[in-house]
Amino acid sequence: MLIIKEAAELEAYVAHEKNNGRSIGFVPTMGALHEGHLSLVERCVSENDTAIVSVFVNPTQFNNPTDLATYPRDEESDARLLAKAGATVMFLPTVEAVYPNGTERDHEFELGAAAEVMEGKYRPGHFQGVAQVVCRLFQLVRPDRAYFGEKDFQQIAVVRNMVRSEHLDVRIVPCPIRRADDGLALSSRNALLTPEQREIAPMIHRVLKESKEFAATHSLEQTRSHVVASIDAVPGLRVEYYEIIDADTMMPVDNWAEAAWVVGCITVYCGEIRLIDNITYKNQEGNWN
Ligand code: PAF
């Protein structure tokens, strides 16, 4: 596996691969890699000739300086894991390599209403920062396919809107959430949980999973309130929001029949650590699952 740190070197590498007719798959990450990331990398490796993985903690998507300062980093372990998973290139740039003209955005991305709700509402500027870095990375890597985890469910919709509005030619491939044996969605932030917090964090998924049964005999609003009350009842957990949405638009819905594809998206503070997760009530075909 090659480790590339300079943008120009990456561009030269990509040009060489493309000239040789090789397809390029891309997994953008912020490092502190876990099994969830590695499942994206493995899929990327199996579907493309060249698999490029970026490890870059993007400062422009953090609206909380403490969150940026404490974000877990472990480049040595990341390099080892990526080599083992079969990645062709680890792109490990500095902030200057990604943003040679500074981190200030030269334009606002058109991300649509999907970027205004949930994460967009509670983390102002977050999705503009995500769009900025993903767009820049796509320009450098020029991937045929790019892989994103469904834990960040809303992010996938926002990235798709960015790809459309910037006229980029890349296929966005969503990949299923990976969970620990106790159900906790794998996340780099889990490394920041104390042992006591790690014990209670799986309650988030447990309550969401049980809410699918509850939903069969209750209204959408009753289900939403039930999830919030059940998680808030666990000492140490605090729900920031729980929205049940039309997954085609990311807009909250009022009743189960209002949309075909219905997903619940949650953000919970476990102490100071912000965890997100989601659950599908009705799948893309409109079937309860
Ligand atoms: O999902 C993430 O880890 C980040 O938002 C991403 C897509 C790598 C952009 O920094």
* pLDDT at residue 81, rounded to an integer: 98
d(CA 147, CA 154): 14
Q: Output DSSP code: residue 288.
A: B
Give the mean pLDDT of 189-203. Answer: 97
Catalytic annotation on 34?
no
**How far is the centre of ligand 1, averaged over its atoms, from the C-alpha of 275 (Å)?**
15
Identify whether the C-beta of residue 134 lies closer than 8 Å to the C-beta of residue 156.
no
What pLDDT band is residue 190 in, cutting at 50, 70 and 90?
Answer: very high
Tens of pLDDT, residue by residue over 238-252, are 999 999 999 999 999
Q: Atom 1 in ligand 1: which residue has the minimum CA distance?
A: 29
Q: Quick one: which of 111, 187, 175 has its CA closest to 147? A: 175
**How far is the centre of ligand 1, averaged over its atoms, from the C-alpha of 130 (Å)?**
7
* pLDDT at residue 184, rounded to an integer: 98
What pLDDT band is residue 289 in, cutting at 50, 70 and 90?
Answer: confident
**How far is the centre of ligand 1, averaged over its atoms, from the C-alpha of 255 (Å)?**
32
Q: Atom 8 in ligand 1: which residue has the minimum CA distance?
A: 29
Token pair 């969605």: residue:
185
Q: Atom 5 in ligand 1: which residue has the minimum CA distance?
A: 130
Q: Counting every residue, how long is the chain?
A: 289
Residues with CB under 6 A from ligand 1: 28-30, 58, 61, 130, 133-134, 152, 155
**How far is the centre of ligand 1, averaged over its atoms, from the C-alpha of 282 (Å)?**
26
Using the atom order of ligand 1, give the atom closest to the CA of residue 130. Answer: 9
Tens of pLDDT, residue by residue over 208-217, are 999 999 999 9
* pLDDT at residue 104, rounded to an integer: 96
**How far is the centre of ligand 1, averaged over its atoms, from the C-alpha of 272 (Å)?**
20
Catalytic residue among 16, 34, 37, 218: 37
* pLDDT at residue 9, rounded to an integer: 98
Tens of pLDDT, residue by residue over 252-284, are 999 999 999 999 999 999 999 999 999 999 999
Give the mean pLDDT of 38-66. Answer: 97
Which of 37, 53, 58, 148 to mutate to test ligand 1, by most ligand atoms within 8 A of the CB atom? 58
d(CA 138, CA 149): 17
Residues 6+ apart with CB under 8 A from 244: 220, 223, 224, 252, 253, 262, 263, 264, 265, 281
Examine the pLDDT at 206 and tell me if it is beyond 90.
yes
